[in-house]
Amino acid sequence: MSVPKTEGTSNYEYVTARVQARRAALFDDEDYRKLIRMGPGEIARYMEETEYESEVNALGSRYDGVDLIEHALNRNLAKHFNDLLRWADGELYEFVARYLRKFDAWNIKTVVRGIYSDADSEAVEEDLIYAGEFDRQFLERLVEAASIEDAVEMLDNTRYGDALAEAYEDYDATGVLIPLENAVDRTYYEGLMSGVTETDNRATQLYVEFLQAEIDFRNARNALRIARSGADLDPADYFIEGGELFRASELSQLSSGVDELVTFIRDSTYGEDLSAALDELERADSLIGFEHALDAALLEYSDHLSHVFPLSICPVLAYVLAKEREVDNIRAIARGREAGLSEDEIENELVIL
């Protein structure tokens, strides 16, 4: 299962025009400010008057409250991302499909976690997002897998097969899911970068740089988490290849202390973009704040790229990121309201540009 080689030229004009229109239709500050004051029922009703109308209507009879919102969000996300694949041709299709494999990785992890925690298959199925490369039938069979071993076996002839089979031994020995999840993430990121690094197209070069930034951030995030949790793990085991910032060996040294890591990032090429995030980390000592600042930095960078190179993969990527962010934000608001968090607390959970 890999992205099929597509013939023909890329139709950047068509896809970016549609994507920009959809990007403009996403919720803005004003919408979020209204949503923060609403209860789950009201949020669902509010969503019914926007973009999410058909999903909310279709699912309204089966779910209510936060579940309704969550399922409507997932379904809407899948719809939009499938649209992207439907429109795109040529090279553009390949780029988009590569990036959307993120949801395959998400689905595999969901299934594995579901089996691990003995959740019933229906509940797991509801949490899948059908936006990746795996088709619905395959995912349905995967959900029915009786054990993690079965699931790994079913994934054997996908791109995740080898990495998962290897990680399964680790899992068998230790009984924790981290090796499996890590194998999936790694395979995803490595597939993302392969074959695109050599190009003379400036926009594609920037796309590669962007992906490298994403991998670097992911590595930094993992290292920080390990450093803060104080767990006796070797971060090099969880290192994702393809980034610019870290080497695997450096990472294990750096993750011994948060301060050293922060200084290292500050001196790197990302120092300027992330200074706000790093200040936040030092000031409030909050990892969540730092992670949100990382997300915001990525989002801002992708937006910038999409203005500079309107006829390239960049606007599509910016849209994908912004849409994911919107879904995450709405989910955070709905869950936050349900849990009875105050408006300020919810606002801290949101990433708004």
Partner 1 sequence: MYEMLFAFVNAVVPLAQEGAAAAEPAIPASAAAALAVGLAALGAGYAERGIGSAAIGAIAEDESLFGTGLIMTVLPETLVILALVVVFIVG
Q: How many residues bind partner 1 (CB under 8 A)?
A: 10
Nearest residue (CB) to partner 1, 21 versus 123:
21
Burial category of 211 from C-beta neighbours within 10 Å (exposed 0-12, middle 13-18, buried 19 and up): buried
Show the binding pattern over residues 273-312: x = contacts partner 1 (CB under 8 A), - = does not: --------------------------------------x-
Q: What is the dihedral of CA 57, 63, 64, 65, to 10 degrees?
A: -110
CB of 20 to partner 1, least distance (A): 8
Nearest residue (CB) to partner 1, 16 versus 306:
16
CB of 179 to partner 1, least distance (A): 44
CB of 18 to partner 1, least distance (A): 4
Q: In terms of Cα–Cα distance, which of 308, 301, 246 is closest to 273?
A: 301
Amino acid at residue number 64: D
The count of other CB atoms within 10 Å of the CB of residue 13 is: 10
Q: In terms of Cα–Cα distance, which of 160, 70, 149 is closest to 116?
A: 149
Apex CA 293: angle with CA 288 and CA 296, to 5°? 130
201 belongs to the binding site for partner 1 (CB under 8 A) = no
Asked whether the beta carbons of 226 and 235 are under 8 A apart, the reply is: yes
CB of 81 to partner 1, least distance (A): 16
Nearest residue (CB) to partner 1, 17 versus 284:
17
Nearest residue (CB) to partner 1, 14 versus 284:
14
CB of 327 to partner 1, least distance (A): 19
Region binding partner 1 by CB under 8 A among candidate stretches 6-14, 187-195, 250-258, 334-342? 6-14
Q: How many angstroms separate the Cα of 276 from the Cα of each of 115, 226, 301?
A: 40, 22, 14
CB of 281 to partner 1, least distance (A): 39
Dihedral sign for Cα 99, 100, 106, 111, please: negative
Q: How many angstroms separate the Cα of 132 from the Cα of each of 13, 138, 141, 273, 298?
A: 24, 12, 16, 31, 22
Show the binding pattern over residues 10-49: x = contacts partner 1 (CB under 8 A), - = does not: -x-xxxxxx--xx---------------------------
**Alpha helix (H) residue ranges in 25-160:** 29-36, 40-48, 53-59, 65-87, 90-100, 102-116, 121-127, 136-143, 148-154
Nearest residue (CB) to partner 1, 15 versus 227:
15
Nearest residue (CB) to partner 1, 20 versus 348:
20
Nearest residue (CB) to partner 1, 16 versus 222:
16
CB of 28 to partner 1, least distance (A): 17
Residues whose CB falls within 8 Å of the CB of residue 139, separated by 6 or more in sequence, listed in order: 107, 111, 125, 128, 130
Apex CA 104: angle with CA 25 and CA 231, to 5°? 105
CB of 17 to partner 1, least distance (A): 3
Residues at the interface with partner 1 (CB under 8 A)? 11, 13-18, 21-22, 311
